[in-house]
Amino acid sequence: MNTKTAARKTLDRRLQERLLLDRRVDGDRLVLADAVLTAALDGSRPLTAGERAALQASPLTTRRLRQLAIERRARQAPASPVSGWRGSQGRLRAASSGEVDALRTDDGWFTLHLVPQGEGWRAILQLAADAPFAADLLAARAPLRVRDGAGRTILEGRLDADGECEAAWPFPSAPAAHLQAADAAFSVESI
Amino acid sequence: MRLPGTRYQEPGWEEVRKLLGQCSLAALRGVDPARLLDAAARDDLLADYVERTGERLRQARHGARAQAPGNSYGDTVLELALGLLYELQARPADWQAFCAAAASEQARIAGFWMEAGGDALLRKKLNDMYAVLRDKVDADNYQAACGRPCSPNRIYAYRMLDTAYGDIARLFADWEQHRDQVGAILGRELQGTPIEVRQLRTIADCRAEWVLRWSETLEAFGGGVGPLHTRSKRFANLKTAPDKIAAMLREIGDYEALSANQDRDWLQDRDDAALWMEDYWRVLQESEEGTTPGPDLILEAREDALGLDDVPEPQAEDDAPPPQDPRLDVLAAAVSLPPGYMQAAGEAEERTGWVARELGGDGLAVRLAVYAKLLGPGDESYPDAWRDPATGELPTMQQLAGLARVSLPTLRKRRDAAIARLEAATMRRTG
């Protein structure tokens, strides 16, 4: 699947989501209990035709299904490789016109260095040695991923013995401009 | 006050209300009040109002008020105002009520909003409309977030209790100055420092009988009639049910503690936004294939069962790119878009995509209008070729109407018809 198709698929899905969730029905109410929705989600008891019709006719119940589906996915997501860390987020501070050379996560445990290299840039993720989970994370050699605020991957890899991992900057625009356009945010998570 | 899912219940609401009032008034200034009297024209007027007000909000987006935080979840005042405006669009009954209120004012004083003080009257009616709407929206948000039934009235009651707690906490903190009133709330004469004053740390510590006594004695201490003791029937049931009051106070407190400690998993939300749709289609699919025996476990029987017709998916369109038409450049220039805009925007479209397929018979301008209405003019997932380089966003409805060579109302009608078809397609799609 090329990137254009992938992007369009995302766009289609987001549009469908809006179509489903933006409907409003007068006097709408929750028509299916959480237990019924949960059983339908885990496949243990599919909805009857009547329940399916009720779900489709109730945007509010659809929203409840969405919430339960998201919570279910969150529970199923792989547990963190180390206790006490579930991921870190950071923001691009103050819209400066210049380039950025380093960004820290809000918790201070990771720094993303951005170093010019030839025509492009290099992204280097560095774990703070004093992070409470640093030793565990290094020992686990867990694969990590850094993403921008739009969810696109900036880099993926395992930390080396120095607590670093690096890759070429993957986007056409320079880091500051790219991140600014991507909600001025980035995140570090384990895969 | 924070509750699961709610967005419009914190002090930032005041600014949201003001921003909506200010932009609405500006938008309505160009409207002929006579249109309000014509019940048949109200739907068109709503579309017109939403578009004009949305435009004003976007013009105001860099202002201090628009950028101020509207709640503690990180939504700005502007985002909340836009959100509520688009809710209104989906709830024409609330707009009808506003029009009826304005029309009765108009019957009293023709052209009242042109008169001195008319703005204030109109603003009051707008405030009423949005005040009702925000509680409807948050009641729905609450139900979706936690699965418990909730009405707009219940949201209103939570807020009344939260305000009551705020006042009680204020009096307790300064109890020496308010000895008599604090005594009346506690229901005894004060001897030395009351221990309750030190025990009240959060709303969860607030006792139902304090709230009842606070409301009962409020008037005697110059605070007006207490909300639980007005003649209105609104809180009649609550007044006689201290256990319900206690449960609601505790719920507000518990959620406040929880939401204050929890990091907002905003990235998680974003990732999952698209993925849950797969769960949704799967649930429908498995239901169609499955043979779960009845009876239907539906919480509240609905009268009308929906017919579920299997409509075949229409054939995908031809993949060949459209031939370049020089007349398109003339059109683009006439609406201040770069030459080649239509060509490039058309090429950036995924022609095998679901939307392109469903709306294949509509022009590009209509499809872009659909995107703009549903996802907003500046969504990050739009291809660059769709954006007007002057604004970085999709062309305005006016520009799109120019490109399609139709009038603005015609484009709106086509757009809304296209959205209705997409909605129907989304409903019947099962995978």
Which chain A residue lies closest to B91 (C-alpha atoms)? A24
Candidates B90, B277, B279; nearest CB to A41:
B279
Does residue B8 form part of some domain?
no
Q: List the 326-385 stretch of B: residues with Cβ below 8 A of A.
A: 349-350, 352-355, 370-371, 374-375, 379-383
CA distance A121 to B389: 26
pLDDT attached to residue B84: 95
Question: How far lies B244's CA from each of B1, B158, B212, B225, in Å?
Answer: 18, 11, 12, 21
Q: Which residues partner with A187 through β-bridges?
A: A89, A147
CB distance B140–A17 less than 8 Å? no
Lowest model confidence (mean pLDDT) among A104-113, A143-152, B262-271, B338-347: B262-271
Q: Does A181 touch chain B (CB under 8 A)?
A: yes
CB distance B296–A51 less than 8 Å? yes
**ipTM, interface predicted TM-score of the complex:** 0.70
CA distance B419 to B431: 20
Q: Does B261 touch chain A (CB under 8 A)?
A: no
- Going by DSSP bridges, is the β-strand pair A120-127/A110-117 parallel, antiparallel, or unpaired? antiparallel
Query: B35 with B139, same domain?
Result: yes
Does residue B169 form part of some domain?
yes
Q: Does B309 touch chain A (CB under 8 A)?
A: no
Q: How confident is the model at residue B305 (pLDDT cuts 50, 70, 90)?
A: very low
pLDDT higher for B310 or B390?
B390
Sign for the pseudo-dihedral over CA of A172, A177, A179, A183: negative
Structure tokens at B230: 């007005």
pLDDT attached to residue A40: 95
Q: By the 8 A CB rule, do B95 and B133 touch?
A: no
Three-state SS at B188: coil
Does residue B404 form part of some domain?
yes
Helix ranges restricted to H, B314-407:
326-334, 341-347, 354-358, 364-375, 397-404
Candidates B275, B305, B353; nearest CB to A50:
B305
Q: How confident is the model at residue B423 (pLDDT cuts 50, 70, 90)?
A: confident
Q: Which residues partner with B88 through β-bridges?
A: none
Query: B254 with B334, same domain?
Result: no
Range of the domain at B91: 13-146
Range with the largest mean pLDDT of A30-39, B238-247, B254-263, B396-405: A30-39
pLDDT at B394 over 60: yes
CA distance B39 to B253: 45
What mean pLDDT is predicted for residues B174-182? 92
pLDDT attached to residue B393: 87
pLDDT attached to residue B319: 39
The residues, any chain, with a CB within 8 Å of residue B94's CB and separated by 6 or more, are: B88, B129, B132, B133, B136
pLDDT tens for A125-175 read 999 888 888 888 888 888 899 998 888 899 998 988 888 999 999 998 888
pLDDT attached to residue B15: 94
Lowest model confidence (mean pLDDT) among B17-31, B72-86, B103-117, B208-222: B103-117
pLDDT attached to residue B334: 67
Does residue B303 form part of some domain?
no
Q: Does A19 touch chain B (CB under 8 A)?
A: yes
Query: B243 with B353, same domain?
Result: no
Query: B141 with B244, same domain?
Result: no
Does residue B297 form part of some domain?
no
pLDDT tens for B317-374 read 333 444 455 555 666 666 778 777 888 888 877 766 777 778 888 888 898 999 888 8
Nearest to B119 by CA among B28, B16, B19: B28
CA distance B323 to B300: 55
Please give the single-letter amino acid code of residue B235.
Answer: F
pLDDT tens for A80-97 read 667 778 788 888 775 555
Question: How far lies B413's CA from each of A18, B31, B328, B420, in Å?
Answer: 19, 19, 22, 10
| Cis amide leading into B295 (omega within 30) | yes
Query: B22 with B92, same domain?
Result: yes
What mean pLDDT is predicted for residues B105-125? 80
pLDDT attached to residue B308: 21
In this structure, what DSSP letter does residue A31 have? -
CA distance A52 to A75: 25
Lowest model confidence (mean pLDDT) among A48-62, A80-94, B142-156: A80-94
The residues, any chain, with a CB within 8 Å of residue B282's CB and separated by 6 or more, are: B431
CA distance A64 to B283: 13
CA distance B294 to B287: 12
CA distance B345 to B351: 12
- Percentage helix, strand, coil for chain A under 3-state DSSP, each rounded to 5: 35, 25, 40
Query: B96 with B135, same domain?
Result: yes
Task: Give which of B351, B381, B386, B421 to mutate to test A binding, by max A Cβ within 10 Å.
Answer: B381
Backbone dihedral angles phi then psi of residue B401, each to the nearest 5 degrees: -60, -40
Q: Which of B107, B123, B146 is the last residue of a domain?
A: B146
Rg (C-alpha) for chain A, rounded Å, is 21
Q: By the 8 A CB rule, do B408 and A8 touch?
A: no
Lowest model confidence (mean pLDDT) among A71-85, B192-206, B259-273: B259-273
Does residue B358 form part of some domain?
yes
What mean pLDDT is predicted for residues A40-64? 93
Q: Which residue has the tokens 């990091």?
A: B263
Q: Which of B120, B146, B172 is the last residue of a domain?
A: B146
Lowest model confidence (mean pLDDT) among A7-16, A159-168, B295-304: B295-304
Sign for the pseudo-dihedral over CA of B210, B213, B216, B217: negative
Query: B201 with B122, same domain?
Result: no
pLDDT at A34 over 60: yes
Query: B134 with B201, same domain?
Result: no
Q: Does B132 touch chain A (CB under 8 A)?
A: no
pLDDT attached to residue B316: 36
Q: By the 8 A CB rule, do B271 and A191 touch?
A: no
Q: How many domains does chain B have?
A: 3
Query: B63 with B100, same domain?
Result: yes
Residue B27 sits at the vertex; the CA angle it makes with B22 and B33, to the nearest 5 degrees, is: 115
Q: What percent of chain B has pLDDT over 70?
A: 87
Nearest to B275 by CA among A73, A139, A108: A73
CB distance B91–A19 less than 8 Å? no
CA distance B275 to A137: 28
pLDDT attached to residue B24: 93
Query: B39 with B123, same domain?
Result: yes
pLDDT attached to residue A142: 82
Sign for the pseudo-dihedral over CA of B111, B126, B14, B50: negative
The residues, any chain, with a CB within 8 Å of residue B113's CB and separated by 6 or more, are: B28, B33, B119, B121, B122
Structure tokens at B193: 């420092």
Domain limits, chain A: 3-76, 88-190
Q: List the 30-89 stretch of B: residues with Cβ below 8 A of A.
A: 86-87
The residues, any chain, with a CB within 8 Å of residue A114's CB and separated by 6 or more, are: A99, A100, A101, A102, A103, A121, A122, A123, A124, A169, A175
Q: By the 8 A CB rule, do B364 and B322 touch?
A: no
Sheet strands side by side (includes A88-91): A88-91, A185-190, A143-148, A153-158
DSSP result, A97-146? SS--SEEE-TTSSEEEEEEEETTEEEEEEEE-TT-TTHHHHHHHT-EEEE
pLDDT at B429 over 80: no
The residues, any chain, with a CB within 8 Å of residue B90's CB and separated by 6 or more, are: A22, A23, A24
Q: List the 74-113 stretch of A: residues with Cβ below 8 A of B.
A: 74, 87, 89
Structure tokens at B243: 């256990």
Does residue B30 form part of some domain?
yes
CB distance A49–B297 less than 8 Å? no
Q: Which of B261, B289, B310 is the last residue of a domain?
A: B261
Sign for the pseudo-dihedral over CA of A172, A173, A179, A181: negative
The residues, any chain, with a CB within 8 Å of residue A106's CB and separated by 6 or more, are: A88, A89, A90, A91
Structure tokens at A151: 């969810």
Task: Give which of A45, A70, A189 to mutate to test B binding, by max B Cβ within 10 Å.
Answer: A70
CA distance B184 to B198: 17
Task: Give which of B6, B262, B280, B319 to mutate to test A binding, by max A Cβ within 10 Å.
Answer: B280
Q: Which residue has the tokens 């880099």?
A: A155
Does residue B233 form part of some domain?
yes
